[in-house]
Amino acid sequence: MTLTNHLCTGAVIAKLLPLPIAIPLAFASHFVIDSLPHFGFQELETTQQHWKLWKQVTFIDVTVAIVISIWLISAHHFLWLLVGFVAYSPDLVWVYRFILKEKFNKDQLPTKNNRLTEFHSSIQKYERVWGGLIELAYAAVMLIIVS
Ligand SMILES: [Zn+2]
């Protein structure tokens, strides 16, 4: 799922549940919604073939997430934002690897999967272009709940 949807899911959890239980549930929510159909491509080669689309979706996603973050801060919901980042945090491993491989061409650095990363990767079974529609509907529901 997108950064926006993970962020909103965490914010909703923080809105509805007290701390500290909201934090592990937000982390766990990452894997639940990653197992739903969402935007993406199954294979790295397919992602590279549709690189322009992937970059456009990622740019829009990051922009929307920044706008939502500013909105949460301005509404004095900083804690919801932090729990939202906890919900997103498992994807930081992909960001780390992307930066190493794409920006610094560091293929020689170890990127071996641990058990969590193996599990995280294995649940991405329903990454499809049409999954973007599921993401839009999901984001709308989460934004309604969080607002
Ligand atoms: Zn993920």
How far does residue 91's CA lie from ligand 1's centre (Å)? 5
Predicted TM-score of the model (pTM): 0.89
- Determine the pLDDT at residue 97: 78
- Determine the pLDDT at residue 42: 82
Q: Looking at the domain assignment, is residue 106 inside a domain?
A: no
- Determine the pLDDT at residue 83: 98
Q: Looking at the domain assignment, is residue 109 inside a domain?
A: no
How far does residue 19's CA lie from ligand 1's centre (Å)? 23
- Determine the pLDDT at residue 15: 98
How far does residue 30's CA lie from ligand 1's centre (Å)? 6
Q: Looking at the domain assignment, is residue 96 inside a domain?
A: no
Taking ligand 1, which is a single-atom ion, which protein residues have CB atoms under 5 Å away? Answer: 34, 91
Residue 54's domain comprises 3-89+124-146
Which of the residues in the chain have pLDDT under 70?
102, 105-112
| Three-state secondary structure string covering the chain | CCHHHHHHHHHHHHHHCCCCCHHHHHHHHHHHHHCCCEECCCCHHHHHHCHHHHHHHHHHHHHHHHHHHHHHHHCCCHHHHHHHHHHHHHHHHHHHHHHHHHHCCCCCCCCCCCHHHHHHHHCCCCEECCHHHHHHHHHHHHHHHHC
Q: Looking at the domain assignment, is residue 62 inside a domain?
A: yes
Structural domain count of the chain: 1
- Determine the pLDDT at residue 108: 59
